[in-house]
Amino acid sequence: MTLNWGHKLTIVFILFGALIFTLVYKCFQTDFQLVNKEYYKDELKYQQVIDGTKNAVALSSEVQLLQNEKTITIQFPNEMKGKKLSGQIWFYCSYDDTKDRHIAVSTTDDALQLIQRSRLSSAATYTVKLNWQADEKNYYNEQTITIK
């Protein structure tokens, strides 16, 4: 059986329609996640992040993130030693919000905080957003870490 050009054109239109239908279906199945449910509200508070970043840059050193097989160590700058620190550590996973973790700042007198790796997903890349206060001053630091 040979197909004439009319039959071939009809088959091309049907295949094209099936392709478009498949693409539309896949688009509706895609999960789009915002960084935060209150994104626009939080955007108005962004000046605090700018001020906190300036304060953190003015310190003698940057916050250091170190990891070993059991823990992640957060070493705050020397100026923070012996001070009462409070705040929030947000382990933000950009591709899966179920892996996000919020941890309260709770340091030793040496300005160290230990976090068990079991609290985080392995083989995930996190943006660590540190927002802390000391002596009524806000600080903010952001770094990337890959949990191995």
Question: How many angstroms separate the Cα of 136 from the Cα of each of 11, 12, 87, 114, 130?
Answer: 72, 69, 11, 24, 16
Q: Which residues of 100-112 are buried (b: 16+ CB within 10 A; e: fewer)?
A: beebebebeeebe
> For position 35, what pLDDT does the model report?
61
> For position 32, what pLDDT does the model report?
66
Q: How far apart are CA 14 and CA 85, in angstroms?
A: 65
The pLDDT tens digits of the residues spanning 43-84 come to 777 888 899 999 999 999 999 999 998 999 999 999 999 999
pLDDT band at residue 86 under the 50/70/90 scheme: very high
Question: To the nearest whole percent, how much of the chain has pLDDT over 70?
Answer: 93
| Residue among 67, 85, 125, 68 at smallest CA distance from 76 | 85
**Which residues face 64 on adjacent strands?**
75
> For position 141, what pLDDT does the model report?
94
pLDDT band at residue 137 under the 50/70/90 scheme: very high
**136: Cα within 13 Å, side-chain hemisphere:** 0
The pLDDT tens digits of the residues spanning 92-104 come to 988 888 888 999 9
Q: What counts of helices (H) and strands (E) characterise the chain?
A: 3, 7
Q: How far apart are CA 126 and CA 145, in angstroms?
A: 5
Q: How far apart are CA 146 and CA 135, in angstroms?
A: 31
Instruction: Specify the CATH number of the domain 39-146.
Output: 2.60.40.10
Q: Give the type of residue at 126.
A: Y
> For position 25, what pLDDT does the model report?
93
